[in-house]
Structure 1
């Protein structure tokens, strides 16, 4: 049952966030931003190892601030981030210990992911034969426009479009082959799934809550913090009524 290793990518420099030290250690609802993502994978029924990808010079600081104070039960190791997200993901995938069948790749900047969503996505991949991976996401609800500059040239049917999130979960060896092929061909994808898709891999979309937000700019912290505080309040209320439930 424990054949999944999570790769939590925390290698960004936070350029769009505007913080020279990056955003992964910014306090959000009482914990560093990246701690929330690690917590969700630590609580997964299927994940038994976590690889955190970050710059080598930040490994000690991230362990000291975002990991050690929280008594995670799952073993956590580090891999060095690369120049691009794709380089960082490849580093994390290569650092997965021997014996794992699947890898779940997640952006540390999506702190609202839950163990329930992770486990449901893993089950979707395991239960569907002939599938190489699954991508958490949401069917598009907004009308989409194709533009040339700012001129609209097409309005495609939104029923064909999904907004991709993370985690994205794959058979480990498939993901390693996809990265090797992309590196050899000089291909840079927009996400992890695109590397598998270009090899002819079959990847499915799995419905994930719309509140699985990514923190990119400072104003993203407001809704994320509000949701996390709301979850903690709900958990406290349930405990006060005798319905014990763990903090998401």
Structure 2
């Protein structure tokens, strides 16, 4: 790495978007063989045996205001591919996935297809659905495009590009193997001490051992997931994730321990962490 590039990588990053935030990691990644990286991550580059029972909904409707880049974050590239492409390729490489629904802003659907989907060799059918005013409404919009014959629906944040096909498949298999459960959610145990705060004052310290940080993907049996959305719509309930819709109906949702590098791109600093994670995965794959 050249000295100038090192300086870019070690600068304190302002949370407001700047070109240096995105260009520095790209410069640092230019020497990697990303075909090899794709294989190391489990991507099959368009070659996968399909026996589908599950439809995937990838939520890519956010405006990316906190990321601070005009046009949002879904089409920002890492290692030469849009963030959204990384997510879609992971689901494409899972044999149980028979349909991918990408939920995105209605006025940008053609742009998302042109830049993130069409140039790449997907084997799974991909359709787009218009996003709604909220995450929950966007998920419901995507669900409307899922045929009734799918037994499972799995949802994922399009801004979590480093999800692996292996973890997706494991999450689906976990639910299938527990017939008394309605869903399975990728999460990891809380590691920081948690505080209950009221009016700026700490009023309690709960046992962090019972807390997990929920991520995506989240997979559910399609029947109860549809009922959960209908109930939420009828009651005016707005959940913070898809699992909360199932939980309020009394459904049982399993936790599948994920990886801490399942990073969600939200602010510019996250891009630096993604780039570092990509390099780590490449180096690990090269050693095997």
Aligned to 1:159: 209
Which of 149, 155, 164 is 1:99 aligned to?
149
Which of 125, 136, 150 is 1:75 aligned to?
125
Aligned to 2:103: 53
Q: Structure 2 CA distance, aligned partners of 1:223 and 1:27?
A: 14
Aligned to 1:109: 159
Q: Structure 2 CA distance, aligned partners of 1:190 and 1:13?
A: 17
Task: Return the offset for 1:98.
Answer: 3.4
Structure 2, unaligned runs of 5 or more:
1-50
Q: Structure 2 CA distance, aligned partners of 1:145 and 1:225?
A: 31
Q: How does 1:232-247 map to 2 (within 5 A)?
A: 232-236=282-286, 238=288
Q: How does 1:1-248 map to 2 (within 5 A)?
A: 1-236=51-286, 238=288
Q: Structure 1 CA distance, aligned partners of 2:83 and 2:89?
A: 11
* Preserved contact between residue 143 and residue 158 of structure 1 (Cα < 8 Å): yes
SS of the residue corresponding to residue 119 of structure 2 reads: helix
Task: Return the offset for 1:123.
Answer: 0.5
Task: Return the offset for 1:231.
Answer: 2.3
* Preserved contact between residue 59 and residue 78 of structure 1 (Cα < 8 Å): yes
Structure 1, unaligned runs of 5 or more:
239-248
Task: Return the offset for 1:236.
Answer: 4.7
TM-score (norm 1): 0.93
Task: Return the offset for 1:233.
Answer: 4.1
Q: Structure 1 CA distance, aligned partners of 2:53 and 2:193?
A: 39
Aligned residues: 238
Q: Structure 1 CA distance, aligned partners of 2:176 and 2:57?
A: 18
TM-score (norm 2): 0.80
SS of the residue corresponding to residue 196 of structure 1 reads: helix
TM-superposition CA deviations, 1:64-101 (whole Å, max 9, x none): 11011111111101111001111100111121123200
Structure number with bigger Rg: 2
SS of the residue corresponding to residue 20 of structure 1 reads: coil
Q: Structure 2 CA distance, aligned partners of 1:2 and 1:83?
A: 30
Q: Structure 1 CA distance, aligned partners of 2:236 and 2:215?
A: 24
CA RMSD of aligned residues (A): 1.2
* Preserved contact between residue 29 and residue 229 of structure 1 (Cα < 8 Å): no
